[in-house]
Structure 1
């Protein structure tokens, strides 16, 4: 996919009124978010390709902190009292153990250290992600069945 095709895609999404569009192909992963005065476009090239990575009006991604860390204080000032539960692996995030079962946790759920919060599928293995802190779930940061990256925030927990 060349730059002109990406620009045309951005224009099309902006005109369509959609707030977010994700497109994944063999060599490119594109996320386009709109809904404010500025458009945000993130284009990621998968590791095996040599083509450039393009970012337009997008904030620079933060470098991951210590790899062994699964929970760290949130960066924003209003969320500073919350603990962020992050993904320890790359995979697909699921809030339920199976499609016909209820979700592990909802906003407002009290969790204890060791409680299962979600599962992440990686290479056909379902890994249970357990809470490393006790508290109340304040926010779920990832949609069900979404791909997640290593160290990506998943949940905000109020430890008080």
Structure 2
């Protein structure tokens, strides 16, 4: 029992050390941390995820998976019935992603991540423009 508590404490400290330089843990980084917890610290996946979320909350660390979930829910809410998202709505989602990550990512990287969230949610861009209504704004990303 004491070793389990010690393993949890060690994993918690390992997360703090891992995120010392940045305040955003990517999905790949989160996956690696969870893998390390299961293999090296003998924790089960639910315990590891709980510790990770607890440390993230305490240390004001943003998990990319949480941001993606919030942005996905937002996009699904504002999309039209056929799953179309306008350029203005897309920009709004990019702004939300940027704020949630604390401006830690480059604007072009944020756009790519929001586009990825849209594609995984099976949403598509709507045509926009004054004269020529195209989806070129989406294809440029």
Write 1 or 2 for the structure with the bigger share of helix.
Answer: 2
Higher relative contact order (CA 8 A, sep 6+): 2
Write 1 or 2 for the structure with the bigger share of strand.
Answer: 1
With structure 2 as the length reference, what TM-score do the two structures score?
A: 0.29
Task: Find the structure with the greater CA-based Rg.
Answer: 2
With structure 1 as the length reference, what TM-score do the two structures score?
A: 0.26
